[in-house]
Structure 1
Amino acid sequence: MNPPVLVTGLPRSGTSWTGKMLAAGGELVYVNEPLNPQHPPGRSPGVLRAHVTHRFQYICDDNADAWLPAFRDTVALRYRWAAQLRANRTPYDLARMIRYGAAFGLGRLTGRRALLDDPFAVLSAGWFATRLGCRVIALVRDPVAFVASWQRLGWTVYFHELLEQPLLVRDHPEVELLRPLIGSQDRLAKAAALWRVTRTILSRLPGIHVTSYDDLAADPLPGFRTLYDHAGLTWTPAAERRITHACTAPTGPARSFAWTGLSRTAYRPMDSRQALRTAARGLTPAEIARVRALTAA
């Protein structure tokens, strides 16, 4: 059986873009953020029949009983219609149920594999590789571009959600470095600290293919050919055409975030090289220097 694929990395590190480009070859069924605790895109029992309690939910062998059966269903493209029907509350939920249920069913009939695009799986990427047999691709973005993106969106991170997961603290004690920033209003320092701790964890996880988002955006075709090879996907002329089109689309009015379709993904066609040139917008030279200092090895 061909393995499922997990694309992960911190939010705003290019996971949706990368996942969509991998799915362009037609061999994968794209599944958007099953571990996102916010509905949508998460809290969808048809896709993942498990209760997500934290952002960056930590999964390991010691709590796998609650997660392994659910994710085995997800990567096998077994959609839980009854569970989803009971959870539906809006017309959007109904439309999403039909879309995902049909995609899972068609995927199973045609022998496609699941592709999980989930930044919230980043700290559990090792478990996905060893227990679920996923081909894991972890995106790492330049820290200045990452922090600038979070600043433009007004995002922050609540470190208590990581620190109140004892198994995470046990297996990755560097998360304790985040404790002094609990309650801090310094969003730049918090984003930089999250980037540094996550990068340290990813560097030692087994079975993880860590990829620079910036290198991928600078030269998409050879980069994606490498990722196709790692994921066991077939590089076809159709995939190459689709990726070329999606990565050279003219840049429209400045937007830092956009929903597209029922998958609720932040992906949209873009000129990936141009996106790199404007990635640090919004940060002053002093803030850029500070981010570099805070994330230096």
Structure 2
Amino acid sequence: MLVTGLPRSGTSWVGRMLTAGGELVYVNEPLNPQHPPGRCPGVLDAQVTHRFQYICDDNSDHWLPPFRDTVALRYHWLAELRANRSPYDLARLLRYGTAFTLGRLTGRRALLDDPFAVLSAGWFARRLGCRVIALVRDPVSFVASWQRLGWSVDVRELLEQPLLVRDHPEVLELRHLPEDRVAGAAALWRVTRSVLERTQGILLTPYEALAADPVPGFRRLYAYAGLRWTPAAERRIIRACCGPTTGRGGGGFAWSGLSRTAYRRMDSRAAIAHGPRGLSDQEAARVRALTGT
């Protein structure tokens, strides 16, 4: 299955909560062009050239075989060793190689947590048979998060993909962005939301609704994904989402140190209360106007 949505929309959190039942193997951002977490041929034996890499039927010959291996939990040990040999890379190789092998032997499924697959979500549902959960965050909170991190939209990553522009012409709106981060992030949110709303075979999920009431929300996502909702999974989700954010005692998940983008324990209700931090009232109003929300 695939959990996607724009970066900073909660995909790592949702992915980790879905693994609480023990039926999934977590795979972090195989389409991220930055190493780490991407450019790891052991996980995905294909060359990623752009952020928000667009995959469709017209370029399936390149993407379908490697992704079939990934979702089947077939790890490419030799390809990974040829490409990445630093101590960090070797630790990651052992972690993923072992997880893939044990997962395949015990009948687990792969869970891809990948924001960079958001514009290709329909292909994953249609060609790979993935259950796709697409997270959508409130635009003000989303833009505020990007602003705090100093992130900006590189329009070239999108416009240099002819198939993407052909299938989703609203991407062309990004050609005339004002030169400021707030407007760029708001425009990316608007374009992505438009694409997702007409993509068939995916489940659009509001981040804020899930964070406000995580237990029934995740129960619904488990049912959608075909996962068993067990008392153990519920306990882990409650500990991970509804407890204090300080310290590690009693947390639902251990922090491995091998992934810089993975889930950290939090109080999900408190997280949504602090979402707009980083934007002035005027900037928040501007985001609302730019996104029509």
- What amino acid maps onto 1:46 in structure 2? G
**Out of 198, 201, 213, which is 1:204 matched to?**
198
Instruction: Determine the C-alpha separation between the residues in 2 that align with 1:160 and 1:109.
Output: 42
2:89 counterpart residue number = 93
Query: Is the aligned partner of 1:126 residue 2:122?
Result: yes
CA-to-partner distance for each residue in 1:127-185, whole Å, 9 max, x for gaps? 0000000000000000000000000000111011101100000000000000112xx53
Shift of 1:252: 4.1
SS, match of residue 79 in structure 1: coil
1:243 counterpart residue number = 237
Whether the 8 Å contact between 2:55 and 2:120 is mirrored in structure 1 is yes
Whether the 8 Å contact between 2:25 and 2:108 is mirrored in structure 1 is yes
Query: Is the aligned partner of 1:228 residue 2:222?
Result: yes
Whether the 8 Å contact between 1:32 and 1:264 is mirrored in structure 2 is no
Instruction: Determine the C-alpha separation between the residues in 2 that align with 1:157 and 1:134.
Output: 28
Query: Is the aligned partner of 1:261 residue 2:257?
Result: yes
Whether the 8 Å contact between 2:24 and 2:109 is mirrored in structure 1 is yes
Shift of 1:262: 1.6
Instruction: Determine the C-alpha separation between the residues in 1 that align with 2:181 and 2:95.
Output: 37
Whether the 8 Å contact between 2:28 and 2:262 is mirrored in structure 1 is no
2:179 counterpart residue number = 185
Shift of 1:261: 2.4
Query: Is the aligned partner of 1:170 residue 2:166?
Result: yes
- What amino acid maps onto 1:190 in structure 2? G
- Identity across matched positions, percent: 77
Query: Is the aligned partner of 1:291 residue 2:287?
Result: yes
Whether the 8 Å contact between 2:27 and 2:111 is mirrored in structure 1 is yes
Runs (5+) with no aligned partner, structure 2: 248-254
Instruction: Determine the C-alpha separation between the residues in 1 that align with 2:259 and 2:19.
Output: 13
**Out of 35, 39, 51, which is 2:35 matched to?**
39
Whether the 8 Å contact between 2:133 and 2:204 is mirrored in structure 1 is yes
CA-to-partner distance for each residue in 1:32-89, whole Å, 9 max, x for gaps? 0000000000000000000000000000000011100000000000000010010123
Runs (5+) with no aligned partner, structure 1: 254-258
1:64 counterpart residue number = 60
Instruction: Determine the C-alpha separation between the residues in 2 that align with 1:152 and 1:168.
Output: 29
RMSD in angstroms over aligned alpha carbons? 1.2
Whether the 8 Å contact between 1:260 and 1:266 is mirrored in structure 2 is no
Q: How many correspondences in the alignment?
A: 286
SS, match of residue 265 in structure 2: coil
Instruction: Determine the C-alpha separation between the residues in 2 that align with 1:210 and 1:179.
Output: 27
Instruction: Determine the C-alpha separation between the residues in 1 that align with 2:246 and 2:141.
Output: 19
2:251 counterpart residue number = none
Q: Tell me the TM-score normalised to structure 2 length.
A: 0.96
Whether the 8 Å contact between 1:260 and 1:267 is mirrored in structure 2 is no
Shift of 1:199: 0.2
